[in-house]
Amino acid sequence: MTSTTIWTGVTLEAAREKAKAFGATEPCLGAHVHQYPFSLSKPIAIGQKHCGSNVSTPPTENSDSFGNKSRLICSLQAIEIDVPYTRLQKLLKNKSMPDFKDIALKIKETDKPYSMSVRDLMKSIGHYRRSTDANRILKNRLRRHKLTVEPDFELVNIETRIQIFPLEGKGAIKKTDINPKAHQTREAEPTATTERSEEEREIVLTIGQLPSAVREPTFVTRDEPIARAITLMLQGGVDHLVVSQNKRAADGLITWSSIGRARAGRGSGSKVSDCMEQEPYVVRFDALLFDTVREITRRGIALVRSSTGTIGGSVTTADIAEQFVTLSEPFLFLEQIENHLRALLRSAKLTVEGLQDLVDPRDEVRKAKVKSVDSLTFGETLRAFDQQITWEKMRLELDRKTVIDGLKKVNEIRNHVMHFHPDGISDEEREILRRTRHMLQIL
């Protein structure tokens, strides 16, 4: 049984002081769910306690776990908020989140920026991926502590390490000066930074958000023997090397095709310079993917210039295809799930009036438009499955509550998917969709 101390309505800084007083370790942002229905009212902090029993969480059905929700009993102060049980578990695991006040103090003391990954930055506010709401919360938190980040955390891959600086002004650290024209080799323009407003960038996919864009490529110099380049490609399992003297200016590319063409046309070619492709396609990390994808498809590869001005990664046609599958697969799963649910609901043979009763009674316009099962939204379809009389008409030999709990999880995932973001969904959520689809296919 885990003992936990929960403080409500306080900042993380204040919770830290309380944690010390109670003998608790580093506190973390969290949530305390007490009863139904839930409503978010204010933030709280949770600290794991290794002695005593301020909060006990016994896994009993009557008092703690109902489907995907959890109740914690607190001897100090309770608060009602809307947080799924799985999210509560994630929050409880994050015991060492950064404190923005401490970060600001550390930057001031060391006169150096604070470095962390975008994923850890999102975890610091209790989120495991970026979204419109999460990004807004993080921006407000940074602004409150007079901090800023570089590069823009919205435009890079979630595993990218960003640097936190004080806002421009007294005591501000000079940031890395990135000249987009420096070492320019067919640089792609425009970029999300220069051509998009903050609101538009919420849903824009940039080159830098692809995993391979932050995976540093293997470099060789133009004077090295081609035998070494071939060895590096075979050893590393890669199909290209970047030819560069300083990791900033890309002199060329070595690929299996370029080696083959050089040896077929001019003999063996003993040096890298004899076999490399000239003028590689280079794009900034914040270049819009859809503005560059045609050129990448034509050339097969683009090199990505990082926020520090170095060649920080590369994007191939295979990387783009993989990203397409990652982003489109959840949509396909959800479409199949909804089709299976509608097919099952048709077997209940509900009347038009019965279907319209599933619509929000306050929405008379929408209610009048519902004429068949196909007219129902996912939420309305879920409402039909939750009705005992409709469930009996479908003659499903399954536990209704368990099925509904699973479909509610699908609905939560669906809301994330429909608010498109390049971070996609988690492996756990993807597996929930896959298993739900499989179950419905069997039915």
| Contacting residues for 289 by C-beta, under 8 A, at least 6 apart | 205, 206, 207, 209, 210, 320
Task: Give pTM, 2 decimals.
Answer: 0.61
Structural domain spans, the chain: 4-93, 100-166, 192-319, 320-442
Whose CA is closest to 223, among 247, 250, 245?
Answer: 245
- Residue 131 or residue 396, greater confidence: 396
Assess whether pLDDT exceeds 60 at residue 182.
Answer: no
- Lowest mean per-residue pLDDT among 145-154, 191-200, 269-278: 191-200
pLDDT tier at 64 (50, 70, 90 boundaries)? very low
CATH class of domain segment(s) 192-319:
alpha beta
Assess whether pLDDT exceeds 90 at residue 25.
Answer: no
Find which of 84-93, 202-211, 268-277 is predicted with most confidence, using mean pLDDT: 268-277
Assess whether pLDDT exceeds 60 at residue 70.
Answer: no
Whose CA is closest to 131, among 100, 154, 147, 105?
Answer: 154
Per-residue pLDDT, averaged over 417-422, amounts to 73
Assess whether pLDDT exceeds 60 at residue 89.
Answer: no
| Tens of pLDDT, residues 107-155 | 888 888 999 999 889 888 888 778 878 888 899 999 999 999 989 888 8
Assess whether pLDDT exceeds 90 at residue 81.
Answer: no
Using DSSP, state whether 434 is helix, strand or coil: helix
| Tens of pLDDT, residues 308-319 | 899 999 999 999
